Amino acid sequence: MEYIQLDRGSVQRFGIRDADGKETGEYIEIDPEDMYFQFRSKDCGIKHKNNVEELKIKVDEIQKTCKDEGEFPTEKDIALKEAFDDFLKKEEQAIDEFIGEGTTRKLLNGRKPYLFMFNDIFDMLSQIAPTLRDTSRNLIENIRAKYKKQKEKDDVLW
């Protein structure tokens, strides 16, 4: 059997270190040539904002309607837990839709999802943003150079 060797293209792999600086063995991959990356980023931010608003509404409703009497867990405790569980699930889903299935769990490194994980994960991702920007700029320059040469040859694309 003959094989085709796949090319990773410009996909960039970023290793993950824990809080002590030790490598976790996990990594994330981002393709700067992915034309939909920026759209998913914007969509993720919108989903986060909607998730926060939805949680606020649910918590306000729970505060008004649920009983906070008796032994723990009270009706209010249970309702709040369910609201936060739903919120965290939606936050994880929004992040995974943006940067890849399972990436949220990799970046949490064994930690359970928590209220401010969205902000913390985006702070983590901001560490690699300059590298991604540089790669994108280089790709744009390479495309310009390639098609400039093509134009000089046959003027097909312009």
23 belongs to a structural domain: no
pLDDT tier for residue 152 given thresholds of 50, 70 and 90? low
2 belongs to a structural domain: no
118 belongs to a structural domain: yes
47 belongs to a structural domain: yes
Q: Could you read off the pLDDT of 106-133 as tens digits, one per residue?
A: 999 999 999 999 999 999 999 998 988 8
58 belongs to a structural domain: yes
Instruction: Tell me the Ramachandran region of residue 25: left when phi exceeds 0, alpha when psi lies from -120 to 50, beta otherwise.
Output: left
User: For the residues 130-148, what does the mean pLDDT come to?
Assistant: 83
146 belongs to a structural domain: no
What one-letter code names the amino acid at 65? T
SS3 at position 56: helix
Q: How many domains does the chain have?
A: 1
92 belongs to a structural domain: yes
User: What pTM was computed for the model?
Assistant: 0.84
Q: Could you read off the pLDDT of 55-100 as tens digits, one per residue?
A: 999 999 999 999 999 999 999 999 999 999 999 999 999 999 999 9
**In terms of residue numbers, what domain contains 108?**
34-130
44 belongs to a structural domain: yes
